[in-house]
């Protein structure tokens, strides 16, 4: 996610597909791979745009969430994201600090209230 290069995601997906039959044979031996699969499928990328105190509040709230299955990315402008990022078009339209929760290739509507982040993550995973 952070590299912004789909080639890395494609390589990870191929690795997961190749190892999956071995994982089924011995779950305990492959716990790290199961954690990686979980992050790939359920990982929430929280993209915060803008500068100033409103952006800082969103970043602080995002960083306080459990770190096991979330990634926080501060994009001061849309240009900070790769062209194919699912939040790129949304950031182009943002005129004030906002956060977007992206799971997989789908991003939430804009979030301006830092306390709404946990709820948005849960909704995106459902």
Question: What pLDDT is stored for residue 64 in this prediction?
Answer: 93
Q: In what order do the strands lie in the sheet with 98-103?
A: 70-75, 44-49, 98-103, 106-107
Contact between residue 58 and residue 117 where contact means Cβ atoms under 8 Å apart: yes
pLDDT, tens digit, 9 for 90 and up, residues 19-61: 888 887 887 778 888 888 887 778 888 999 889 999 999 999 9
pLDDT, tens digit, 9 for 90 and up, residues 47-105: 998 899 999 999 999 999 988 788 898 988 777 877 777 888 887 777 889 999 988 88
Tell me the torsion sign for CA atoms 83, 51, 110, 57.
Answer: positive
**CATH 3.40.50 holds for 43-126:** no
């Amino acid at each position: 996610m952070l590299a912004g290069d789909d080639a890395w995601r494609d390589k990870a997906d191929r690795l997961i597909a190749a190892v999956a039959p071995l994982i089924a044979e011995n779950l305990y031996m492959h716990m790290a791979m199961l954690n990686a699969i979980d992050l790939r499928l359920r990982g929430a990328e929280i993209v915060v745009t803008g500068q100033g105190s409103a952006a800082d509040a969103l970043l602080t709230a995002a960083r306080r969430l459990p770190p096991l299955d979330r990634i926080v990315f501060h994009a001061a402008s849309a240009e900070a994201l790769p062209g194919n990022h699912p939040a790129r078009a949304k950031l182009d339209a943002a005129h004030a600090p906002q956060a977007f929760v992206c799971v997989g290739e789908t991003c939430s509507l804009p979030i301006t209230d830092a306390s709404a982040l946990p709820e948005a993550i849960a909704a995106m995973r459902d």
